[in-house]
């Protein structure tokens, strides 16, 4: 599994745990539902700022591995 897919799975799991729909998360993060779907499935090329916004709403922190 790629890092992108792993981040997407973590965001999806946290969203579901928070009992939010993709639409809810999109509205709270200020991004589109399409972008939420792309993040969660690891497809497309969502901007890092969008990923960070979604993660932030869910209380997740993105950490770069070195």
Pick from 1-5, 27-31, 46-50, 62-66: least confident? 62-66
Please say whether the beta carbons of 38 and 29 come within 8 A. Answer: no
Q: How far apart are CA 28 and CA 2, in angstroms?
A: 26
pLDDT of residue 43: 92
Using one digit for the tens of pLDDT, what is the confidence trace for 10-57? 999 999 999 999 999 999 999 999 999 999 999 989 999 999 999 999
- Report the C-alpha gap between 50 and 42 in whole angstroms: 13
């Amino acid at each position: 599994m790629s890092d992108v897919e792993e981040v997407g799975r973590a965001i999806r799991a946290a969203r579901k745990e928070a009992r939010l729909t993709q639409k809810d998360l999109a509205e709270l993060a200020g991004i589109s539902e399409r972008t939420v779907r792309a993040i969660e499935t690891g497809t497309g090329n969502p901007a890092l700022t969008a990923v960070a916004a979604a993660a932030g709403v869910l209380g997740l922190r993105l950490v770069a591995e070195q």
